[in-house]
Amino acid sequence: MTTEKLPVLAILGGTGDLGTGLARRWAQVGYQVIIGSRTQEKAEMAAANLRGIMTERGVEAVSVQAMENLAAAQAADIITLTVPFSHQASTLELVRPALIDKILIDVTVPLVPPRVGRVQLPEEGCAGAIAQQILGDEVAVVSAFQNVAAQHLQEGRGLDCDVLVCGNKKAARAEVIKLVEAAGMRGFHAGMIDNAAAAEALTSVLITINKQYGCHAGITISGLDDTG
């Protein structure tokens, strides 16, 4: 019986809470993870910190490496982008040659400080559509994880949060849903990349809810027949 080889994962701009949270959850279930950053030093610090936390939790032999963003994209099979919206385009232009025939998971949300609780989508429709326009059809852009609280990803327990997965290629969406499930959540096919506008807009709504109620809210898809 053969075991399916897991793809190598890179997280660009992966030194923040969201990037390291995803890295932690994927590494602890056996994925080889590369934390990417604009500088090798920042990537090394984040990777070392992550390995230390995993050791404290009794999770040994995790595979977490550190590289600059371009090298990380070259070395990985599936790449996740977790940079702020203001750095999305420049980062994608930098790594574009390394993304051809690969899947890019875009987690970008077009927040415009200081009013991050107000929905302010770009003229192109959404950040996911911008990524697809920059990268072209040779890259399968899939939008996901916008509505997951970074704080919850950092926790060791399970997550009561669903993930909307948008992209123009269904097979690519299916691969990302596998990663959503590996991170302890449910992922749902949510249509073409333009539909990512809904998930991106919901982030500002959730920020407002979090501020109002002192929580870290997510979303849950209801009405499913779990027995079918």
Predicted TM-score (pTM) of this structure = 0.95
Q: Which residue has the tokens 């982030």?
A: 203
CA atoms within 13 A on the CB side of 27: 29
For domain 9-213, give the fold.
Rossmann fold (3.40.50)
pLDDT bin (cut points 50, 70, 90) of residue 2 is very low
Determine the residue type at 202.
L
DSSP class of 193: G
Ramachandran assignment for 65, one of left (phi > 0), alpha (psi -120 to 50 degrees), beta (any other): beta
Ramachandran assignment for 58, one of left (phi > 0), alpha (psi -120 to 50 degrees), beta (any other): left
| Per-residue model confidence as pLDDT tens digits over 121-144 | 999 999 999 999 999 999 999 999
Higher-confidence residue of 112 and 62: namely 112
**Residue 124 to residue 104: CA distance in whole angstroms:** 18
Mean pLDDT score, 196-225: 95
